[in-house]
């Protein structure tokens, strides 16, 4: 639905939408359940879903088109590059990151999305007071996230706000949240705010 930016290009995300409004991003939107529901309940918000797996990107983009939601855009790209190199400072009100891939093997830890350089880029892209909500079923990755973001000077921990993380009263959770809850796994949640 929107093309990834060209190398070196800093984008104006509002140019992707029909009218301006606060921008929220979901990284790893998968099949788009959260994106669709939040966009429908909050037409005043502009939602950008980022998904790198072609299969899920296509599913999600088709789903948004079928529902005719006008305040959602989906981009197929690696969120790390978009956040680090292409988004301007202070353009995002809320970042949603639900069940990021944990890369459990030690030799794969360097592939994890949450590293200090990424965290600092998120701080830069958030508006002052902007929120970052993270949910994970993976205990060890969650601890890693807690350590990295706890050491990131631009962020402070804040409360988990269900108004911002639950699209509506009937919301049952993201696909992975539903699946892992059924399996009896603990779902860890944490929220940060840009200082």
Ligand X SMILES: C[S@@+](CC[C@H](N)C(=O)[O-])C[C@H]1O[C@@H](n2cnc3c(N)ncnc32)[C@H](O)[C@@H]1O
- Residue for token digits 């993201």? 174
- The least CB distance from residue 42 to ligand X, in Å, is 18
**Cβ atoms of 55 and 84 closer than 8 Å:** no
Q: How far apart are CA 64 and CA 33, in angstroms?
A: 10
- The least CB distance from residue 195 to ligand X, in Å, is 25
Residue number with CB closer to ligand X (158 or 175): 175
- The least CB distance from residue 45 to ligand X, in Å, is 18
Catalytic residue, chosen from 101, 137, 161, 170, is 101
- Cross-strand partners of 133: 96, 191
What residues line the site for ligand X (CB under 6 A)?
27-28, 30, 50-53, 56, 78-80, 98-99, 101, 113, 174-177
Q: Is 101 noted as a catalytic residue in this protein?
A: yes
Name the residue number minimizing CB distance to ligand X.
Answer: 28
**Cβ atoms of 98 and 34 closer than 8 Å:** yes
Phi, psi of 96 (to 5 degrees): -105, 130
Residues taking part in catalysis: 101
């Amino acid at each position: 639905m929107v093309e990834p930016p060209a190398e070196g290009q800093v984008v104006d995300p509002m140019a992707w939408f029909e009218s301006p409004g606060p921008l929220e991003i979901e990284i790893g939107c998968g099949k788009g359940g959260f994106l669709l529901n939040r966009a429908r309940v909050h037409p005043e918000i502009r939602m950008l879903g980022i998904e790198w797996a072609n299969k899920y990107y296509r599913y999600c983009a088709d789903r948004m088109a079928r529902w005719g939601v006008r305040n959602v855009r989906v981009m197929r790209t690696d969120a790390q590059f978009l956040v680090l190199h292409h988004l301007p400072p202070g353009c995002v009100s809320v970042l949603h990151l639900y069940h990021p891939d944990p890369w459990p093997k030690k030799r794969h830890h360097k592939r994890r999305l949450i590293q200090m350089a990424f965290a600092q880029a998120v701080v830069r892209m958030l508006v002052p007071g902007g929120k970052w909500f993270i949910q994970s079923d993976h205990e060890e990755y969650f601890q890693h996230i807690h350590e990295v973001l706890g050491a990131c000077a631009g962020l402070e921990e804040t409360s988990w706000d269900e108004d911002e993380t639950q699209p509506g009263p009937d919301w049952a959770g993201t696909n992975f949240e539903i699946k892992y809850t059924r399996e009896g796994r603990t779902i860890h949640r944490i929220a940060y705010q840009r200082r």
